[in-house]
């Protein structure tokens, strides 16, 4: 992990924030900023554009937790959240909101580096899974469009399935497009001609 990470600490309690700051500095992180109040939090975080966000909530109310979960949904960054007490529903909500590490109790500066490493690793792992899922969904949608286009061409031009696919592929190569783009054009044209 690079010590040049830009880290934002969201903490209204200066004593608890100092523990986080000390732990980060001892781990070699020098770009540490603290937000002491939560008003306009999302805009302020966007303005700072941190690599990692550490949120210390001590004993948060449901409203404060929900605000932090909104931040974690909106900001695609590793987020570690420190709380003193929690329940199963809060933990599940944190995970659903995309919090990478949800630490209950035990705010100690000696643990900060390991928690930060875990937070970043978990975030990166989930980001890879999201990307893979999105690619699989896109491939499936493209495949469906290609199958529909082949059916349209088979009916309209009295072609075999292989010949319809070859026509899509040849047209895509001639137009420097993906087969799925040409297939979508065929499907769109067929719907217009109905």
Q: In the chain, what are the domains?
A: 6-107 (3.40.50.2300), 135-192 (1.10.10.10)
| Residue 68 pLDDT > 80 | no
| Sheet with 52-58, side-by-side order of all strands | 31-35, 6-10, 52-58, 79-83, 101-104
CA dihedral 30, 34, 40, 43 (to 10 degrees): 0
pLDDT tens digit sequence for 117-172 = 999 999 999 999 999 999 999 999 999 999 999 999 999 999 999 999 999 999 99
The CA distances from residue 115 to 66, 101, 131, in Å, are: 22, 7, 24
Tokens of 139: 């491939």
What is the per-residue pLDDT for 175? Answer: 96
| Residue 8 per-residue DSSP state | E
DSSP letter for each residue of 121-173: HHHHHHHHHHHHHHHHHHHHHHHHHHHHHHHHHHHHHT--HHHHHHHHHHHHH
Tokens of 108: 């100690």
pLDDT tens digit sequence for 5-61 = 999 998 888 888 898 999 999 888 889 999 888 778 888 888 899 999 998 887 766
Kindly give the residue spans of alpha helices, DSSP state H, lying in 7-160: 14-26, 41-48, 62-74, 88-97, 109-157
Closest CA to 6 of 110, 107, 120, 101: 120
What is the per-residue pLDDT for 84? Answer: 82
What is the per-residue pLDDT for 145? Answer: 97
Residues 57 and 51: their CA atoms lie apart, in Å, by 20
């Amino acid at each position: 992990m690079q010590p040049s990470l830009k880290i934002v600490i969201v903490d209204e309690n200066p004593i608890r924030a100092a523990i986080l700051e000390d732990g980060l500095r001892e781990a070699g992180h020098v770009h540490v900023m603290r937000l002491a109040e939560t008003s306009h939090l999302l805009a302020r975080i966007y303005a700072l554009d941190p690599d990692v966000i550490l949120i210390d909530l001590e004993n948060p109310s449901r409203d404060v937790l929900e605000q932090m979960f909104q931040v974690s949904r909106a900001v695609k960054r590793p987020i570690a959240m420190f709380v003193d007490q929690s329940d199963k529903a809060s933990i599940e909500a944190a995970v659903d909101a995309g919090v990478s590490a949800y630490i209950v109790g035990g705010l100690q500066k000696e643990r900060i580096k390991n928690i930060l490493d875990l937070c970043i690793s978990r975030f990166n792992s989930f980001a890879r899974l999201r990307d893979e899922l999105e690619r699989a969904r896109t491939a499936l949608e493209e495949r469906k469009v290609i199958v529909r286009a082949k059916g349209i061409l088979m009916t309209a031009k009295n072609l075999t399935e292989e010949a319809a696919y070859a026509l899509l592929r040849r047209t895509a190569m001639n137009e420097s497009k993906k087969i799925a783009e040409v297939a979508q054009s065929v499907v769109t044209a067929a719907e217009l001609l109905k």
